[in-house]
Amino acid sequence: MSFFLRTNYQIYHATHSPQTFFYKYPVQSISQLASPPFLSIYLTKNQSIRLPGSYSSYSKMASHIVGYPRMGPKRELKFALESFWDGKSSAEDLQKVAADLRSSIWKQMADAGIKYIPSNTFAFYDQVLDTTAMLGAVPARYNWNGGEIGFDIYFSMARGNASVPAMEMTKWFDTNYHYIVPELGPEVKFSYASHKAVAEYKEAKALGVDTVPVLVGPVSYLLLSKPAKGVDKSFSLISLLDKILPIYKEVVAELKAAGASWIQFDEPTLVKDLDSAQLQGFTKAYSELESSLSGLNVLIETYFADVPAAAFKVLTALKGVTAFGFDLVRGSKTLELIKSGIPSGKYLFAGVVDGRNIWANDLSTSLSLLQSLEGVVGKDKLVVSTSCSLLHTAVDLVNETKLDKEIKSWLAFAAQKVVEVNALAKALSGHKDEDFFSANAAAQASRKSSPRVNNEAVQKAALALKGSDHRRVTNVSARLDSQQKKLNLPILPTTTIGSFPQTVELRRVRREYKAKKISEEEYVKAIKEEINKVVKLQEELDIDVLVHGEPERNDMVEYFGEQLSGFAFTANGWVQSYGSRCVKPPIIYGDVSRPKPMTVFWSSTAQSMTKRPMKGMLTGPVTILNWSFVRNDQPRFETCYQIALAIKDEVEDLEKAGITVIQIDEAALREGLPLRKSEHAFYLDWAVHSFRITNCGVEDTTQIHTHMCYSNFNDIIHSIINMDADVITIENSRSDEKLLSVFREGVKYGAGIGPGVYDIHSPRIPSTEEIADRINKMLAVLETNILWVNPDCGLKTRKYAEVNPALQNMVAAAKLLRTQLASAK
């Protein structure tokens, strides 16, 4: 929100982030304040007055935000959700927190001068799940009986309940956000079952903010879905357009009646490789909607990559569409298509402010680009926008106390990006804020020249990696034989993925240690006690390969980044991953190296507590890269190689310390896969190579595990094999055992593999029989001697009351199958 201070005949105008930008405007008389850029002043008694004149008409240039973070600057929604789920607060309490967040977001954008403010981008869990609710596409297992969908059905679909599992969750394109995958088929009875989009538009309007309602577009919704269980995999999801379009028409009609003048359809699947039938779906959908959309301005928004030429042609020919939104940060090639083919009279929403990273925009470069686009579409048809929703970046730099002044000057979080968008829009209209642009240019120059960014020794080491594929000399089959002789594991060995529940007490210990309220000695003692508890629990459960539970770790990426050079950390830079789960991505601003060992002490401590194998737990270089805000001044693969060398040092130190099983998690390898198939090979080559670099120097008897979660792996299975890990544990149960289909289709996998036997993101406790049934399905397509038994993912987010019985049933199922296999010989 802009505000003003009066001091000695000067009016000092501060932008949204006063710590970062501070400008003054000389004023000759109080009457001058009726003109832009002055909106109000603070008098000596701190009384604010609204001045005459239309600041609103001045400030609301052609500016647009695709979407905004939902969690709140202090994760208010996270805590409200978890309180509601735990039965500690009511549905009304949750709705109140949500309404307050929506109100503050809309007012913030309005006060910043944004003209096209989105609504219906808020969600209690996920925007795709919201669309599923809108369409009444509830799977039968949730026993929904019609009517408006409430929290009980909504959260059951998202999280499961005591009797049925949750719907599948997977990555949203190539981001670390997850969406709930719709389950569709010819028998689904669609109905208008959630009026949320209309309700939120009316809610904003009542606050005096006219918004642009946002809907997930009908074609993208279908293309992001999957055939429901029992439906033939060849079923054409696009064939359901005729069934869902009547509901979209109802929503549009209600929005028009409520006074909406614009509507935004998010159709991000247009950036993917689509076949002609899928592209024809867009033509059909918007032709069918044309009459319903009459009288509305219609924006089709795309993001995350270039729009292919064929899709661009279809998109720009759609009937009834007023405007097109493009990501011009990750989709720079789209510029050529825009310059050669956008229809006359259409609006161009130019996404020049990066919605997926935290670097301050290079305003001068962006302004030059925008000015060139004015000549293509016309001055009155160009709108400055974000490249995608700001959901994927942190909320507000104002809340940051941890970052130093220099690094902070290089950054812009969601709130600052709103200001950047409006600054560019004003500059385009001839009202350029020279001071704002000068400060931005100075920050850009500071970052380029800072000695903190460049480390010549690291750059040379990374450069020397070229020319070798860094593959272990012995093949995996021979290595597994050597490892089995040393480890002496039973068939169907059991393990967990790494983390154990992070209790309130454990978080308190870490928090007090960081705040220097307890000594290092007290901290180490508390963490050792927690590790010992976790080790003893696993021994009592009779798990074969143990973990130390990671009680010393706040986050699997942040923990490592805090110990590597070239990383910076925020106090409140939270980003939603799924539901109430938020992560605080590190910021990679410079060259990366490892000053000292990071995990050896804790892994060695844990191993000393048991005679069973103890896994050393590391996060892999590709996951650290993909789950961080990455520097944008060099290719991503160069940064990844630097991280790989740092992890390699750690792997070799763990081996020297006597750790014989080392897990290097690459949970995010799949999500970094480019959206276009033509770019897959290059990414997979350097990503897989980075993983192999980390462990190419270990002995054959050291068993290297990796873990992957919540993505569609079938299309990259050969690259996974090429990682050359000894054992891979991989999500399987929540995705309805989709992973197993690749082995049914004849792919041979010779290394150890542990497809997850139960979903840890649901509070539901699976029975021994259910887990045994899953293992039997795995044994139908995998060799007994390579199969491991483990959960889908780490247990950090669960409670011990859920974890203990679930693991007990998992071990019991493994033992049951061992007995059955032995008696069958």
| Catalytic residue set | 761
Nearest residue to 790 via CA among 675, 706, 716? 706
Measured in whole angstroms, the distance separating CA 783 from the mean position of its chain's CA atoms is: 35
Q: Which residues contact 469 (CB under 8 A, 6 or more apart)?
A: 689, 692
CA pair distance 627, 4, nearest whole angstrom: 38
CA pair distance 394, 75, nearest whole angstrom: 11
> Using CA atoms in the order 542, 546, 547, 548, what is the torsion angle rounded to 10 degrees?
80
For β-strands 581-583 and 575-578, DSSP reports them as antiparallel
CA pair distance 12, 41, nearest whole angstrom: 9
Cβ 621 vs Cβ 648: under 8 Å: no
Nearest residue to 59 via CA among 114, 4, 19? 114
Q: Which residues contact 567 (CB under 8 A, 6 or more apart)?
A: 561, 586, 587, 588, 589, 592, 628
CA pair distance 167, 735, nearest whole angstrom: 8
Cβ 612 vs Cβ 574: under 8 Å: no
What phi and psi values does residue 810 have, to the nearest 5 degrees? Answer: -65, -45
CA 335 vs CA 315, 340, 390: distances in Å? 15, 9, 22
Cβ 763 vs Cβ 801: under 8 Å: no
Nearest residue to 385 via CA among 342, 341, 343, 428? 428
For residue 186, give the 3-state DSSP assignment.
coil
DSSP letter assigned to residue 268: G
Buried b (16+ CB within 10 A) or exposed e, 39-49: bebbeeeeeee
For β-strands 565-568 and 575-578, DSSP reports them as unpaired
Extract the tokens encoding 27.
Answer: 């004023």
What phi and psi values does residue 161 have, to the nearest 5 degrees? Answer: -145, -170
CA pair distance 771, 809, nearest whole angstrom: 8
Cβ 128 vs Cβ 221: under 8 Å: yes
Task: Dump the DSSP string for 82-138.
Answer: HHHHTTSS-HHHHHHHHHHHHHHHHHHHHHHT-SBEEES---SS-HHHHHHHHTT--
DSSP letter assigned to residue 670: G
DSSP letter assigned to residue 33: G
Nearest residue to 384 via CA among 118, 115, 16? 115
Cα torsion angle, 78, 82, 88, 90, sign: positive
Sheet holding 10-14, edge to edge: 23-26, 10-14, 3-7, 40-42, 48-50
Q: In angstroms, how far is the first alpha carbon of the chain from the final one?
A: 74
